[in-house]
Amino acid sequence: MGEGFIRFEGISKAFGAQTVVRDLDLAIERGEFLSLLGPSGSGKTTILMMLAGFIAPTRGRIRLDGREIQDVAPYRRDLGVVFQSYALFPHMSVAQNVAFPLRMRGVARAEIAARVGRALDMVRLGALSDRRPAQLSGGQQQRVALARAMVYEPKVVLMDEPLGALDKQLREQMQLELRDLHRALGLTVVFVTHDQSEALTMSDRIAVFNAGRIAQIGTPEAVYDRPETRFVAEFIGETNVLEAEVASCEDGLVRLTVGRDRVLVARTERALAPRQGVLVCVRPERIAVTEDAQAPNAMPVTVADAVYQGDHIRLRLEGEGLSLIGRRGRAEAPLAAGAPGFACFAPEDCALVDA
Amino acid sequence: MRGLGALGLVAPLVLFLGVFFFWPLATMLTTAISDDAVSRAFPATAEALADWDGAVPPSPAIQTAVASDLRENDDRSLLGDAVRRLNSAVPGFRSLITGTYREVRRDEAVPVDLVAIDPGWGEAAVWRGFARAMPPYTDRNLLAAVDLGRDAEGKIGPVAAQASANRVIMTRTFVIAASVTALCAAIGLPFAMLIAASGGRLRAMLLLAVLLPLWTSLLVRTAAWVVLLQNSGLVNQALEAVGLIDRPLPLIFNRAGVVIAMTHVLLPFMVLPIYSVLLTISPALMPAAATLGARPLSAFWHVLLPLVLPGLASGALLVFMVALGYYITPALVGGAEDQMISSVIAFYATGTANWGMAAALGIVLLAATLVLYAVYARFSRTPPGFAA
């Protein structure tokens, strides 16, 4: 962990008897796009609101660029916040909305006009500057909120599920636009979401929250491919979880027993002791169905169900005492329900987490 | 057929509006300007005086008409109304009529020489007043309502300063209504914001506190203020106990008492419209303003106030309109200098049975209110803060 542009140091927050955030230590680097990902009630929005200044932490310190800010009023923190509801001022035009933070800072009139123009051009809304928020579509309102939160060049932009109210297509388009803006402006962004694909698309790092604690923090690849807990493995994407027991562990290659006598091989960086219980997590797209009984980790299964999903076929595979979800690309030979075969996956493609 | 059915559906509404809204309004209007007591008591005179050349004494035909009207009169109360009306226009008319009435009934001679019966009939003012009282409609009441009157020549001019105080009372009515409205806004806006910001039980309690006065009798509430505000009342005792004053403040039977009690009674009409507008304002707006760098006061000024203004305006309009017509509260907790126009109307309506005057004052009040409403409507057409 580096020095950290934003640092949470031992932050806890309790509402009455209910602790929402527990002993949080988190450092966010300058220019980083960090997503706080978790189910509702995991504390991620509380953390964002503590950073914005609307919720005071029960314990701990928050530093922004070295300065302690946990007691600083929200309007002095110089952060940009994009709310889920956009929170545009309905009685002001688009241009007046974007000009608002500059007016509050006493910027000269001529400069306000120039900066508002630039900010609206940045989000491609220059032509709509005289409209009222109510006359804009959801995506356009979202862009106004972004322009307003960035026009005064805040140190950090916080976003609280800003794309939650958009339909799927617009959401995916806005994800890419946000990512481009982040890169072009070198912004530090803290982004709260419960949508894992959103977090995977945009983030430099993802912090996965569970019950007020960080379950895992890392790059999207690390969080997706090498989950450290069952919660992370199951929350992000779909996964198959097999209960297993370590038979032996040598040079990162682990032999595991599943069920009574099935043996699996997995590669891991963890040191595991024999007889230790672990969970084997395998992503559905890593599971192949072959007729080759000698394939790595081959397990005899029958295809219980094959469901067409457009870009892939989703397979439900039933074996002896186990049930797996697999994915099969459209390019591969189609499998009919009831077909026998072997489910297999490479030792590198599974993650071992504690039971 | 469908059109008829629709008409049937709105028929109760039309009937209701007609009977309970337009009819009383029309009655009030006609009562204010109707003045047919004299023309009904003196039908023949009315006809004869229509082509009077202004000569005094008038032609024997006119004098005979007066006598025949007096002879044929069989409704003493109708004559009484007419005489009262005539006496108010020309002092001394009553005794003139009374004497003549007796004389012409005793001696049925035709033609009649009225001046011989009573020399009073030789005066020009008497005949001019008689002639002017003949038209069944008059602007006398409406003029009197705003302290104007016609002099002997029929020119409109102000009446003597001590003769009437309608203008003073009308002004006082508007001043009291405006103070009550301002006070209601000053208390109601923060209170509505408090209700909107609170949740759960607290919100229910605060709403109850607003609504409770509406469920209590106006008389009881006003009487309670008498108890609270009197010299040995709770408020004065408390102020004396904490040492803020050493002599009881005069809070009752004066302007302060009227404004306090009326503000309390009318507060719900201010709080509820503001509250309902506040509910439509997204709760994220004020935090958003704060993150954008607005201090609490400027966030209120630039964001919340423009958005809540429509509610404030309709609340103010409601309070002001209702306050204009207040009667019981000023009567109970006000002094002589705090009576509002309603008490004057009540005086004319129930005290002296001068329905014309009561109706005329009502019309002036209605007109003033409509003018104010027009001003309000003009300014609220473009929602505040929405100007580019």
Angstrom distance (rounded) from CA A116 to CA A103? 11
H/E segment holding residue A262: strand A262-267
H/E segment holding residue A267: strand A262-267
Q: What's the pLDDT score for residue A168?
A: 86
Q: What's the pLDDT score for residue B355?
A: 87
Angstrom distance (rounded) from CA A215 to CA A200? 16
Tokens of A5: 């542009």
Span B189-233, pLDDT tens digits: 999 999 999 988 999 999 999 888 888 888 888 888 888 888 888
**Tokens 């009831």 belong to residue:** A338
Angstrom distance (rounded) from CA B42 to CA B70? 8
Higher-confidence residue of A1 and A40: namely A40
Q: Which residue of B has its CA nearest to A86?
A: B284
Of B247, B248, B183, B258, the residue nearest B225 (C-alpha): B258
Task: Determine whether the interchain pair B291/A79 forms a contact, defined as Cβ–Cβ distance below 8 Å.
Answer: yes
Q: What's the pLDDT score for residue A68?
A: 92
Per-residue pLDDT at B385 exceeds 50: no
- DSSP structural state of residue A296: T
Please check whether residue B197 touches A, CB under 8 A.
no
Q: Which residue of B has its CA nearest to A147?
A: B292
Of B314, B317, B345, the residue nearest B331 (C-alpha): B345
CA dist list (Å): B76 to B69, B72, B85, B98, B340:
12, 11, 14, 12, 36
Task: Determine whether the interchain pair A152/B293 forms a contact, defined as Cβ–Cβ distance below 8 Å.
Answer: yes
In sequence order, which residues have a C-beta less than 8 Å from that of residue A113 and are 6 or more positions away? A99
Q: Which residue of A has its CA nearest to B302?
A: A100
Please check whether residue A115 touches B, CB under 8 A.
no
Angstrom distance (rounded) from CA B245 to CA A126? 63
Q: Which long-range CB contacts under 8 A does B344-347 form with residues at least 24 apart?
A: B344/B166, B344/B169
| Top-confidence range, A249-253, A266-270, B273-277 | B273-277
Bridge partners for A308 per DSSP: A313
Per-residue pLDDT at A14 exceeds 90: yes
Per-residue pLDDT at A2 exceeds 70: no
Specify whether the CB–CB gap between A129 and A79 falls below 8 A.
no
Q: What's the pLDDT score for residue B382?
A: 54
Sign of CA dihedral B159, B161, B166, B172: positive
Q: Which residues of B touch A85 (CB under 8 A)?
A: 282, 284
Angstrom distance (rounded) from CA A203 to CA A34? 6
Of B241, B219, B177, B342, the residue nearest B227 (C-alpha): B219
Angstrom distance (rounded) from CA A55 to CA B242? 39
**What is the pLDDT of chain B when averaged over all its residues?**
87
Please check whether residue B41 touches A, CB under 8 A.
no
Q: Which residues of B touch A81 (CB under 8 A)?
A: 287-288, 291
Tokens of A1: 């962990």
- State phi, psi for B258 to the nearest 5 degrees: -60, -50
Task: Determine whether the interchain pair A75/B284 forms a contact, defined as Cβ–Cβ distance below 8 Å.
Answer: no
Of A97, A163, A169, the residue nearest A135 (C-alpha): A97
Region label for A241, one of left (φ > 0), alpha (ψ between -120 and 50) or beta (otherwise): beta
Angstrom distance (rounded) from CA A90 to CA B303? 9
- DSSP structural state of residue A144: H
Closest to A75 (Cβ–Cβ): which among B282, B290, B386? B290
Q: What percent of chain B has pLDDT over 70?
A: 97
Task: Determine whether the interchain pair A83/B292 forms a contact, defined as Cβ–Cβ distance below 8 Å.
Answer: no
Task: Determine whether the interchain pair A101/B292 forms a contact, defined as Cβ–Cβ distance below 8 Å.
Answer: yes
Q: What's the pLDDT score for residue A129?
A: 92
- DSSP structural state of residue A108: -
Residue ranges of the alpha helices (H) in A31-125? 44-52, 94-104, 109-122
ipTM of the prediction: 0.81
Specify whether the CB–CB gap between A313 and A347 falls below 8 A.
no
Specify whether the CB–CB gap between B298 and B249 falls below 8 A.
no
Angstrom distance (rounded) from CA B57 to CA B115? 8
Task: Determine whether the interchain pair B292/A152 forms a contact, defined as Cβ–Cβ distance below 8 Å.
Answer: yes
Task: Determine whether the interchain pair B290/A53 forms a contact, defined as Cβ–Cβ distance below 8 Å.
Answer: yes
Specify whether the CB–CB gap between B267 and B275 falls below 8 A.
no
Span A23-63, pLDDT tens digits: 999 999 999 999 999 998 888 999 999 999 999 999 999 99
Specify whether the CB–CB gap between A240 and A322 falls below 8 A.
no
**Tokens 């912004």 belong to residue:** A187
Of B176, B205, B182, B370, the residue nearest B267 (C-alpha): B182
Q: Is the previous residue joined to B111 through a cis bond, with omega within 30 degrees of 0?
A: yes
Q: Which residues of B touch A95 (CB under 8 A)?
A: none
Q: Which residue of B has its CA nearest to A51?
A: B291
Per-residue pLDDT at B252 exceeds 90: no
At A111 the three-state DSSP class reads helix
Specify whether the CB–CB gap between A1 and A8 falls below 8 A.
no
Angstrom distance (rounded) from CA A34 to CA A188? 8
Residues B42-55, mean pLDDT to the nearest whole number: 86
Q: Which of B277, B280, B292 to mutate to test the interface with A (most CBs of A within 10 A)?
A: B292
Angstrom distance (rounded) from CA A35 to CA A262? 39
Specify whether the CB–CB gap between A27 and A194 falls below 8 A.
no
Please check whether residue A1 touches B, CB under 8 A.
no
SS (HEC) of chain B: CHHHHHHHHHHHHHHHHHHHHHHHHHHHHHHHHECCHHHHHCHHHHHHHCCCCCCCCCCHHHHHHHHHHHHHCCCHHHHHHHHHHHHHHCCCHHHHHHHHHHHHHHCCCCCCCHHHHCHHHHCHHHHHHHHHCCCCECCHHHHHHCCEEECCCCCEEECCCCCCCHHHHHHHHHHHHHHHHHHHHHHHHHHHHHHHHCCHHHHHHHHHHHHHHHHCCHHHHHHHHHHHHCCCCHHHHHHHHCCCCCCCCCCCCCHHHHHHHHHHHHHHHHHHHHHHHHHHCCCCHHHHHHHCCCCHHHHHHHHHHHHHHHHHHHHHHHHHHHHHCCCHHHHHHCCHHHCCHHHHHHHHHHHCCCHHHHHHHHHHHHHHHHHHHHHHHHHHCCCCCCCC
Tokens of B75: 């409704």
Please check whether residue B387 touches A, CB under 8 A.
no
pLDDT category at B381 given cuts 50, 70, 90 is: low
Specify whether the CB–CB gap between B213 and B265 falls below 8 A.
yes
Span B116-141, pLDDT tens digits: 888 888 888 888 888 888 888 888 88
Q: What percent of chain A has pLDDT over 90?
A: 50
Closest to A85 (Cβ–Cβ): which among B282, B303, B383? B282
Please check whether residue A336 touches B, CB under 8 A.
no
Q: Which of B280, B286, B291 to mutate to test the interface with A (most CBs of A within 10 A)?
A: B291
Span A72-109, pLDDT tens digits: 999 999 899 999 889 999 999 999 999 999 999 999 99
Q: Which residues of B touch A79 (CB under 8 A)?
A: 291
Of A103, A16, A149, A64, the residue nearest B287 (C-alpha): A149
Task: Determine whether the interchain pair B293/A85 forms a contact, defined as Cβ–Cβ distance below 8 Å.
Answer: no
Task: Determine whether the interchain pair A75/B295 forms a contact, defined as Cβ–Cβ distance below 8 Å.
Answer: yes
Q: What's the pLDDT score for residue B113?
A: 84
Per-residue pLDDT at B387 exceeds 50: no
- State phi, psi for A156 to the nearest 5 degrees: -140, 140
Specify whether the CB–CB gap between A193 and A165 falls below 8 A.
no
Angstrom distance (rounded) from CA B347 to CA B344? 5
- State phi, psi for A125 to the nearest 5 degrees: -125, 15
Per-residue pLDDT at A149 exceeds 70: yes
- DSSP structural state of residue A284: G
Q: Which residues of B touch A130 (CB under 8 A)?
A: 388
Of A81, A87, A85, A77, the residue nearest A190 (C-alpha): A81
In sequence order, which residues have a C-beta less than 8 Å from that of residue B213 and are 6 or more positions away? B221, B264, B265, B267, B268
- State phi, psi for A176 to the nearest 5 degrees: -70, -40
Region label for A43, one of left (φ > 0), alpha (ψ between -120 and 50) or beta (otherwise): left
Angstrom distance (rounded) from CA A44 to CA A40? 8
Per-residue pLDDT at B152 exceeds 70: no
Q: Which residues of A touch B382 (CB under 8 A)?
A: none
SS (HEC) of B59-90: CHHHHHHHHHHHHHCCCHHHHHHHHHHHHHHC
Span B271-328, pLDDT tens digits: 999 999 999 999 899 999 999 999 999 999 999 999 999 999 999 999 999 999 898 8
Please check whether residue A327 touches B, CB under 8 A.
no
At A235 the three-state DSSP class reads helix
**What is the pLDDT of chain A when averaged over all its residues?**
90
